[in-house]
Structure 1
Amino acid sequence: MSSHASRLGQLLLTGIPAPELDSATAARLKKLQPGGYILFSRNLKDAATLRKLCDDLRDLSEIEPIITIDQEGGRVSRLRYIGHEPPNAQQLREKGSFDLIKQHGKLTGKLLRLFGINLDLCPVLDISYDDTADNSLKGRCYGTDPQQVVDFAGTFNRAMRKEGVLSCAKHFPGYGPAECDPHEFLPIIDKTREQLDKEELLPYRALMPELDSVMVCHANYRAYDPQNERWPASLSHNIVQKLLRDQLGFDGLAMTDDLDMGAILNEVTFEQAIQEAVKAGNDMVMICHRLEMVEEARKHLEALPDPVVYDALIRLEKTKKKLSTPSPFSLERFAEVNDEIWQLRVDTLGEERAAILSVEDGKRSPVELY
């Protein structure tokens, strides 16, 4: 039995089933002690219930947990189920105002702190090569070239972190060139190392000191894994350890994207996905939806060599030292921040366009339907 066995749950980032913890779920989580929780629309009933959920997750955790969510703007704004929808990255980019992007970062940070959410799964550092492409990135990119991503995503990132919420850059090493949606299939990316270096990797390199965590995506990069044609980046030692850590020098928290996606499920077994992700250099494996698999995931982690687990735990510990405590909660405070988010939407889009909210037709990405 590994000396780290008692803390293996720390390597798990798990979804939870409902807006409130029932006694069975609470007992499971207390036993499992996951390192973090990710929230979805299924967890959102109203503002007060969300704050209580985050408080309850903290109360049952022996080590302060990461509580995270996808709150980007536009259709990928989970909190629009209980409040206003902020503008998306593309709308802010087209408006071209650093002040509005800064305001977006600031309000996002304030809103999350109010609920007790301490890490936001953004900014997106992918480059939009075609704003009309029907892939999972529609509307989510801060730039059509690397420098624009650095300028705009960097502005958002600094403003949000200043409010005490940690950030996560995604989707490393870059989904921009993907032809399909990883929720369904494994994208194959044929760009050369030189091309990836000049384009996809530039925002990561530029913003590296200001990124608390990085999410590694499920696409195959021929340039880095030529021998292994269908191997996802999230499970690739060449990409996580050699590229992100050794070459780019990132020593923060690295996590996989959701391992419940088609790009993973169609390619490898669950055991392989869990073990190879951590062996590749990730510190947390994300299981968002098949919650019955989380205990099984912990069992698979037991087979990992001690040094691999040790490195991950050290990086996790270092990241967790930066987590902020929640702000004092009141419905009045929530209403104030929510009004400011609406104002930001109007300032970005104008009254008429602000009234048109994102549609959940599910066509652009199944992530909307979770």
Structure 2
Amino acid sequence: MSAHATTLGQLLLTGIPGPELDSETAARLKKLQPGGFILFSRNLQDATQLRKLCDDLRDLSDIEPIITIDQEGGRVSRLRYIGQEPPNAQQLRQKGDPLLIKRHGQLTGKLLRLFGINLDLCPVLDISYDDTADNSLKGRCYGTDPQQVVDNAGTFNRAMRKEGVLSCAKHFPGYGPAECDPHEFLPIIEKTAEQLEKEELLPYRTLLPELDSVMVCHANYRAYDPQNERWPASLSHNIVQKLLRDQLGFDGLAMTDDLDMGAILNEVTFEQAIQEAVKAGNDMVMICHRLEMVEEARRHLEGVPDPILHDALIRLEKTKKKLAFPDKFSLEKFAAINDDIWKLRVDTLGEEGAKNLSVEDGKRSPVELY
């Protein structure tokens, strides 16, 4: 057993099955001690239940856990299942008022603090080259060029963090040029290193000092992995360690996107995915849906060299020192924030536009479920 065997669970970010912890799930998680939990619509029934779930997850964790969610705006707002749907990044960008983006950041922070969610998986730093493109980014991009992303995502990020919720920029190095959806297939990105430097990497280079964590995506970048044509960025030492850490100087928390996505499942074994992700320089591996695999993932981590595990655990510990405790919960407070989100929606989209909520029409990316 490695010296870190007792703490290896810390490197796992896991989904949980339902809206409450049954005794079997609670016992499993208590034994495993994952470093973090990610919530989905399957975990949400109402405001009181959600707060209790977050409290229960905290209670069974020996070390303060990361409790995270995708609360971006629009269709990728998990909390729209129990409250109002904030406008999405594209709607805010098109409205062109930074004060509305700031309000979105503040309200997102307040809402998450109320539930005890301490890290939000946003802002999205991808560039939209085509707002109608059939990839996973529809409606989710703060800019059609790098500087617009920096300005808008930066405004959101600062406002949310000021409320005590940590941020995670995604999807490094950038899904903007992707031709397909990584939930289903591995995108291949042919851009040169020079093009990526001028476009995709610019928002990261600029905003890294004020980001708590970065999520690494599942796409193959020919510029960085020319020898390895089907190798996803999330498992790439060239991209996580050499590019993000050595070249861009990021020493915060790096995590993989969900390893249950087609871009990974179709390309590598589970053992490879877990071990190579951490060897590449990621600190947390994300398993959102195949929850029966989490214990196996922990066993696979024992095959990673000790010095690499040590570095990952140190970065995770450093990030966890910044986690804020939940606000005191009340349904009145939730109702007030919820009203303010509706007002933000109206101020962004107008009275009529605000009524058009995101619909699940089956023609969407599975991102709504993932």
Q: Where on the TM-score scale, by shorter chain, does this alignment land: which range? A: over 0.9
Question: Which deviations, in whole Å up to 9, do the C-alpha atoms of 1:146-183 show, x marking residues without a partner?
Answer: 00000000000000000000000000000000000000
What corresponds to 2:162 in structure 1? 162
How far apart are the structure 1 equivalents of 2:148 and 2:197?
Answer: 16
Aligned residue for 2:215, secondary structure, equals strand
- Equivalent position of 1:81 in the other structure: 81
The one-letter amino acid of 2:28's match is R
Does structure 1 residue 204 correspond to structure 2 residue 204?
A: yes
Q: Which amino acid aligns with 1:30?
A: K
Q: Mind listing any 5+ residue stretches in structure 2 that lack a counterpart?
A: none
Normalised to the residue count of structure 1, the TM-score between the two structures is 1.00
Where does residue 122 of structure 1 map in the other structure?
A: 122
Q: Which whole-Å CA distance do the structure 2 matches of 1:360 and 1:260 have between them? A: 21
Q: Please report the RMSD computed on the Cα atoms of aligned residues, expressed in angstroms.
A: 0.5
Q: Which residue in the other structure is 2:233 paired with?
A: 233
Give the Å deviation of 1:368.
1.4
Within the alignment, does 1:96 sit opposite 2:86 as a pair? no
Q: Is the 8 A contact 1:362 1:368 kept in 2?
A: no
Q: Quote how far apart the aligned CAs of 1:134 are.
A: 1.4
CA shift, 1:141, in A, is: 0.1
Q: Which amino acid aligns with 1:128?
A: S
Aligned counterparts of 2:183 and 2:166: Cα–Cα separation in 1 = 25
Query: What runs of 5+ residues in structure 1 fail to find an aligned partner?
Result: none
The residue identity in structure 2 corresponding to 1:284 is M
Spell out, residue by residue over 1:22-64, the C-alpha distance to the aligned partner (whole angstroms, 9 max, x if none).
0000000000000000000000000000000000000000000
How far did residue 188 of structure 1 move?
0.1
What is the aligned partner in structure 2 of residue 336 from structure 1? Answer: 336
Q: CA deviation at 1:367?
A: 2.1
Q: Quote how far apart the aligned CAs of 1:344 are.
A: 0.1
Partner of 2:289: 289
Identity of aligned residues (%): 89
Deviation of the 1:234 alpha carbon: 0.1
Partners of 2:18 and 2:183 in 1: how far apart? 22
Matched, 1:304 2:304: yes
1:290-317 Cα offsets, whole Å, 9 max, x none, are 0000000000001111000000000000
Whether 2:143 is the aligned partner of 1:143: answer yes
1:179-258 matches, within 5 Å, as 179-258=179-258
What is the Cα deviation at residue 364 of structure 1?
A: 2.2
* 1:361 Cα offset (Å): 1.9
Q: Is the 8 A contact 1:362 1:369 kept in 2?
A: no
- Give yes or no for the alignment of 1:260 onto 2:260: yes
- TM norm structure 2: 1.00
Kept in 2: contact 1:122–1:169 (CA 8 A)? yes
Equivalent pairs, count: 370
The residue aligned with 1:15 is: 15
> Aligned partners of 1:261, 1:237: CA distance in 2, in Å?
20
Equivalent residue, structure 1, for 2:275 = 275
Aligned partner letter, 1:166: L
In structure 2, distance between residues paired with 1:308 and 1:361: 44
The amino acid of 1:42's aligned partner reads R
Decide whether the 8 Å contact of 1:360 with 1:369 is kept in 2: no
Alignment correspondent of 1:58: 58
Cα distance in 2 for residues equivalent to 1:213 and 1:368: 22
Aligned mates of 2:166, 2:323 — CA distance in 1: 7
Letter in 1 for 2:71: Q
Query: How far apart, CA to CA, are the structure 2 residues paired with 1:125 and 1:362?
Result: 26
One-letter code aligned to 1:346: V
Distance 2:303 2:175 in 1: 31
